[in-house]
């Protein structure tokens, strides 16, 4: 019984030694995916802040009669 448990432990350790590099590579790939996901989230946050600032600038320019109202409310052209 003890020999069987020792053999099982040895088999598990051998398997871990053989596949340790694969586990590290898969872990690195998963970590990089999480990191990229966080960066894309940061970019979205920054873009929304920039759009708010642009809206404020347009409002001020319209109020000072520097920018025509039609230009301030014009939508971005659709990309095909």
Overall average pLDDT of the 5-33 stretch: 89
Tell me the pTM.
0.49
Q: For 74, phi and psi rounded to 5 degrees? A: -65, 135
What is the predicted pLDDT for the residue at 70?
82
pLDDT band at 77 (very low <50, low <70, confident <90, very high): low
Flag whether pLDDT at 62 surpasses 70. yes
Flag whether pLDDT at 1 surpasses 80. no
- Return the closest-CA partner of residue 58 out of 68, 48, 49: 68
Q: How far is CA 49 from CA 35, 54, 61, in A?
A: 22, 9, 19
pLDDT band at 80 (very low <50, low <70, confident <90, very high): very low
Residue pair 61/67 in contact by the 8 Å Cβ criterion = yes
């Amino acid at each position: 019984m003890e020999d069987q448990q020792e053999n099982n432990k040895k088999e598990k350790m051998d398997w871990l030694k053989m596949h340790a590099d694969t586990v590290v590579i898969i872990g690195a790939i998963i970590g990089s995916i999480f990191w990229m996901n966080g960066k894309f989230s940061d970019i979205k946050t920054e873009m929304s802040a920039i759009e708010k600032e642009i809206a404020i600038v347009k409002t001020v320019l319209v109020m000072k009669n520097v920018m025509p109202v039609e230009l301030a409310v014009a939508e971005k052209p659709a990309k095909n």
